[in-house]
Amino acid sequence: MKIAITGSTGQLGQLVIEQLLKSVPANQLIAIARNPAKACKLAARGINVRQANYDDPVALHNALEGVERLLLIASNELGRRITQHANVINSAKKQGIRLLAYTSLLHADTSPLSLAVEYARTESDLKASGIPFVILRNGWYTENHMAGVPAAAATGMLYGCAGNGRIASAPRIDLAEAAAKVLASGGPAGQTLELAGDTAHTLAELAAEIARQCGRDVVYKNLPEPEYREILMAAGFPEPIASGFANWDTEASRGALFDDGHQLSKWIGRPTTPLSEIVRQTLAQAR
């Protein structure tokens, strides 16, 4: 059984591989990387590293030779992903892959997030390919809102524009465990899993958690979207990223990041990691 993972040098990909190594021998794993130099630690552990860029159909075809199960981790190159993902799906089809799991977006078919269009299109392409699939509709990473936590602990102010929107986030580790379980078990083929955290929080509740752990007051200040974007840019985020996060916060205020289906905890067989634990880790790393 050969299992391949694209995006293997990314944050989620590395965690998926760590999870897989608990039940799958290293020599059955293939780490696909656009830059194999980044995968040298994986190679040192006996994992087969193959080079392929999502833009390169020939390299993808070669990288997928002999692969039975594939995890397509969505590209982070926004605006180019429909073609990039189609390249992977077409190569997987030609190589006769028996299961393709794809990391999509929570409620990709109905989500108002600007990101959703590309995710939904890849889901359609995957279904149309005829390859047995599992769609992993990953919820918001809890880590996404951690960038402001050290500053909030230091200044007593947390900024955002998500209003009272409830965010059912889960950390990458929980989503990686879910993906690894799909790859190791080969199922549930034909299903779309909405993978979100068990507990949803508002940004005011995040501020309260920071306050609890730091033993000081932390206030959440809800800003108009343009003001929050300026704060993110002043903190060093490039304009497109700052615009994205500010806009996604606005959509969160309307419920775009909420889910209460508990499919993630059911699939991994344990409660999802609480917000408090990720705040604890973030504050510990910042010290």
Ligand X SMILES: NC(=O)c1ccc[n+]([C@@H]2O[C@H](COP(=O)([O-])OP(=O)(O)OC[C@H]3O[C@@H](n4cnc5c(N)ncnc54)[C@H](OP(=O)(O)O)[C@@H]3O)[C@@H](O)[C@H]2O)c1
Return the residue nearest ligand X (CB atom). 10
Which of 47-55, 123-131, 199-207, 231-239 is the region at the interface with ligand X (rule: CB under 6 A)? Answer: 47-55
Identify which of residues 10 and 165 has a Cβ nearer to ligand X in the complex: 10
Q: For ligand X, which residue of 47, 73, 183, 193 counts as binding (CB under 6 A)?
A: 73
Q: Rank residues 53 and 62 by Cβ distance to ligand X and give the closer one.
A: 53
Q: Is 77 in the site for ligand X (CB under 6 A)?
A: yes
What's the min distance (Å) between Cβ of 91 and ligand X?
Answer: 12
Select the span of 4-12, 151-159, 183-191, 197-205 touching ligand X (CB under 6 A). Answer: 4-12
Site track for ligand X across 13-42, x = CB under 6 A: x--------------------xx--x----
Of 54 and 133, the one with the shorter C-beta distance to ligand X is 54
Q: Is 61 in the site for ligand X (CB under 6 A)?
A: no
74 belongs to the binding site for ligand X (CB under 6 A): yes
Does 140 bind ligand X (CB under 6 A)? Our answer is: yes
Q: Is 11 in the site for ligand X (CB under 6 A)?
A: yes
Give least dist CB 10 to ligand X, A.
2
- Kindly identify the residues of this chain, within the stretch 173-202, that bind ligand X according to CB under 6 A: none
Cβ closest to ligand X, residue 31 vs residue 231: 31
In whole angstroms, give the CA distance from residue 268 to residue 33.
26
Query: 196 with 169: CB under 8 angstroms?
Result: yes
Give least dist CB 2 to ligand X, A. 19
Tokens of 206: 């995040």
Q: Are strands 99-105 and 3-5 parallel, antiparallel or unpaired?
A: unpaired
The yes or no reply on residue 114 touching ligand X (CB under 6 A) is no
| C-alpha 231 chain-centroid distance | 24
Q: For ligand X, which residue of 28, 51, 53, 83 counts as binding (CB under 6 A)?
A: 53
CA angle 12, 16, 17 (to 5 degrees): 120
**Shortest Cβ distance from residue 18 to ligand X (Å)?**
13
Kindly determine how many residues on this chain lie close enough to bind ligand X according to the rule CB under 6 A. Answer: 23
Which residues contact ligand X (rule: CB under 6 A)? Answer: 7, 9-13, 34-35, 38, 53-55, 73-77, 84, 103, 138, 140-141, 144
